């Protein structure tokens, strides 16, 4: 992270801009195709709903379901080449420029075992996919992250299958610098944020292992589940709690953490679109480019922000 | 009549729930206090080791070493009340931190693998003690809140759930340690 913002802008104008211009032409073409396909599907679906004899709600739902599935399929198919080129020609070079020691793989992802190990989310996984794996070391601390989409299937009363998203976003695995023996998990606190004190009571009743922390700002955003309250306070120092509140505000998405088996897992539920190329906004816009850098910085700076390189404890 | 019985049952169930919450919160405080006690013992066990390793080289800090050893002996006495344990731990914190800072001024000591490992472990324990105190204060706040808030205050009154004291974070821990002052003292 030694690069300055001005260096990156220089890199953008000198090295990336010519390629971005080429890719911008492709983006426009793909966007036109996607819009055309979307319009055709939407008009056809509306027409079908209008002409269905029974005019039944169920049939309409089915048509919409098929239209959405078809649209998803077509969207993926039409944009694959464009996305791949963006990742290969632009994003990979940007990552290498920010930190040459980082290894980037467009098709790689955090393995399912690590996702499961975090213990943060529902374990009944039916579909597990991801991309944009970045791996490396920040100072002494190993770090890897990728976008993930994790889903499960449920069947409703009419026998229709639905996919439910368990997690969609950026999943980060790093090493924590202190010894600990039990598990500490940090979740976004929906109850206390919106229900205040009453929400806090409900939490107390529902979770025997809920640990109250000594930072009101942190308690407002997060809730902590831990086997041992002392260890929870040991890992979540006042400084780390403050940084986590700041991180939550900066990323503007729910943040989950799990301290388990020497590792720190951070899950940012941002939909997993942080590193995807824009389709309906110009690639040449500087804001779009800055967005990618900002998002990469958010993740890489976690190591520094949480002081993970600080090794004054007995753990080597 | 039935309505009256239902009302009584609801009140009884609520009363039991509140009573159990109060008990679990009080136990939580006691459990965390036990962790503090265990951590303090761990700290005391390391002190003789540290003193014997550094005393040869530390000519000028004899007073500091003696104070640490004396307070450690005081802390190891049996039958101390919780308040006394904490008071001695607080008293010991300042000279112990002073000693840890002083080690940094001796290149020979700093270079020793054994000492640096010991310092890391001590740092770790110091931070664990600080964390345990924070956890204890939070648990006591939760317990005292439950004791004072209506309607749990009624149950707390009937069953004599006494108040618990928060730990003072000693002033010496808050301000930065002045090594010179410690050396002269």
How far is the C-alpha of B144 from the C-alpha of B146, rounded, in Å? Answer: 5
Q: Residue A74 region, left (φ>0) first, then alpha (ψ -120 to 50), else beta?
A: alpha
pLDDT band for position A315 (cuts 50, 70, 90): low
How far is the C-alpha of A108 from the C-alpha of A127, rounded, in Å? Answer: 16
Measured between CA atoms, the residue of chain A closest to residue B137 is: A214
How far is the C-alpha of A270 from the C-alpha of A168, rounded, in Å? Answer: 7
Inter-chain CB proximity A229 and B28 less than 8 Å:
yes
Inter-chain CB proximity B137 and A214 less than 8 Å:
yes
Sign of CA dihedral A224, A226, A228, A230: negative
Measured between CA atoms, the residue of chain A closest to residue B35 is: A230
Percent of chain B with pLDDT over 70: 90
Inter-chain CB proximity B32 and A230 less than 8 Å:
yes
Which pTM was predicted?
0.81
Q: Are A151 and A163 in contact (CB under 8 A)?
A: yes
* Chain B residues touching residue A237 (CB < 8 angstroms): 127, 131
* Digit-coded pLDDT (tens) for A94-149: 999 888 889 999 999 999 999 999 999 988 899 999 999 999 998 888 999 999 99
Inter-chain CB proximity B135 and A237 less than 8 Å:
no
Q: How far is A185 from chain B (nearest CA, A)?
A: 16
Measured between CA atoms, the residue of chain B closest to residue A214 is: B138
Number of folded domains that form chain B: 1
* Digit-coded pLDDT (tens) for A149-189: 999 999 888 887 888 999 999 999 999 888 888 899 999 98
Q: How far is B135 from chain A (nearest CA, A)?
A: 6
Inter-chain CB proximity A179 and B32 less than 8 Å:
no
* Chain A residues touching residue B131 (CB < 8 angstroms): 230-231, 233-234, 237
Min mean pLDDT across A189-203, A205-219, B93-107 is at A189-203
Inter-chain CB proximity A230 and B117 less than 8 Å:
no
pLDDT band for position A198 (cuts 50, 70, 90): low
Q: How far is B53 from chain A (nearest CA, A)?
A: 18
How far is the C-alpha of A20 from the C-alpha of A292, rounded, in Å? Answer: 14
Q: What pLDDT is stored for residue B172 in this prediction?
A: 43
CA A81 to chain centre: 22
Inter-chain CB proximity A229 and B138 less than 8 Å:
yes
* Chain B residues touching residue A313 (CB < 8 angstroms): 120, 123-124, 127
Inter-chain contacts counted by CB atoms under 8 A, chains A and B: 50
* Digit-coded pLDDT (tens) for B29-40: 888 898 888 999
Collect all residues from B whose CB is shorter than 8 A from any CB in A: 21, 28, 32, 35, 117, 120-121, 123-124, 127-128, 131-132, 134-135, 137-139, 142
CATH code, domain with B174: 1.20.1440.20
Mean confidence (pLDDT) of chain A = 87
Please give the full DSSP string across A198-259, using - where no structure is assigned.
HHHHHHHHH-TTEE--S-HHHHHHEEEEES-HHHHHHHS-HHHHHHHHHHHHHHTS-EEEEE
* Digit-coded pLDDT (tens) for B45-95: 888 888 888 877 777 778 888 888 999 999 888 888 888 888 898 888 888
Radius of gyration of chain B (CA): 23
Q: Which domain covers residue B87, as residue numbers?
A: 2-184
* Chain B residues touching residue A212 (CB < 8 angstroms): 138-139, 142
Inter-chain CB proximity B131 and A233 less than 8 Å:
yes
Inter-chain CB proximity B120 and A312 less than 8 Å:
yes
Inter-chain CB proximity A229 and B142 less than 8 Å:
no
Q: What pLDDT is stored for residue B179 in this prediction?
A: 44
């Amino acid at each position: 992270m030694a690069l300055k913002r001005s260096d990156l802008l220089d890199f953008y104008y000198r090295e990336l801009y010519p390629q971005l211009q080429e890719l911008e032409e492709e983006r426009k073409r793909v966007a036109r195709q996607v819009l055309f396909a979307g319009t055709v599907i939407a008009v056809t679906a509306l027409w079908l709903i209008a002409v269905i004899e029974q005019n039944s709600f169920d049939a309409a739902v089915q048509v919409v379901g098929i239209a959405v599935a078809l649209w998803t399929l077509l969207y993926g198919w039409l944009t694959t080449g464009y996305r791949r080129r963006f990742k290969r020609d632009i994003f990979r070079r940007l990552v290498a420029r920010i930190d040459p020691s980082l290894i980037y793989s467009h098709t790689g992802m955090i393995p399912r075992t690590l996702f499961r190990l975090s213990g943060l989310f529902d374990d009944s996984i039916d579909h597990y996919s991801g991309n944009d794996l970045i791996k490396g070391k920040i100072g002494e601390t190993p770090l890897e992250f990728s976008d993930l989409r994790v889903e499960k299937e449920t069947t409703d009363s009419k026998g229709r299958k639905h996919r439910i998203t368990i997690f969609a976003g950026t999943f980060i695995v790093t090493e924590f610098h202190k010894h600990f023996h039990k598990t500490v998990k940090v979740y976004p606190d929906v109850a206390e944020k919106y229900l205040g004190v009453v929400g806090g009571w409900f939490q107390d009743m529902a979770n025997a292992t809920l640990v109250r922390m000594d930072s009101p700002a942190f308690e407002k955003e997060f809730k902590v589940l831990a086997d041992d309250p002392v260890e929870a306070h040991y890992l979540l120092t006042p400084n780390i709690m403050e940084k986590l509140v700041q991180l939550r505000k900066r990323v503007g998405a729910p943040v989950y953490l799990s301290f388990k088996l020497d590792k720190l897992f951070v899950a940012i539920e941002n939909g997993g679109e942080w590193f995807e190329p824009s389709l309906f906004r110009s690639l040449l816009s500087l804001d779009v480019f800055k967005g990618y850098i900002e998002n990469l910085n958010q993740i890489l700076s976690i190591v520094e922000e949480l002081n993970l390189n600080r090794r004054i404890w007995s753990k080597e | 009549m039935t309505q009256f019985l239902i009302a009584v049952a609801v009140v009884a169930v609520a009363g039991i729930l509140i009573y159990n919450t109060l008990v679990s919160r009080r136990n939580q405080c006691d459990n965390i206090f036990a962790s503090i006690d265990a951590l303090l013992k761990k700290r005391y066990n390391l002190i003789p080791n540290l003193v014997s390793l550094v005393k040869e080289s530390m000519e000028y800090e004899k007073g500091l070493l003696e104070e640490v050893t004396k307070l450690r002996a005081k802390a190891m006495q049996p039958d101390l009340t919780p308040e006394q344990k904490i008071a001695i731990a607080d008293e010991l914190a300042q000279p112990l931190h002073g000693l840890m800072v002083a080690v940094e001024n001796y290149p020979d000591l700093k270079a020793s693998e054994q000492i640096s490992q010991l310092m890391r472990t001590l740092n770790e324990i110091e931070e664990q003690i600080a964390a345990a105190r924070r956890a204890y204060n939070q648990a006591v706040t939760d317990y005292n809140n439950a004791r004072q808030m209506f309607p749990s205050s009624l149950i707390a009154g009937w069953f004599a759930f006494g108040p618990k004291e928060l730990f003072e974070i000693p002033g010496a821990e808050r301000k930065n340690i002045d090594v010179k002052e410690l050396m002269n003292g």
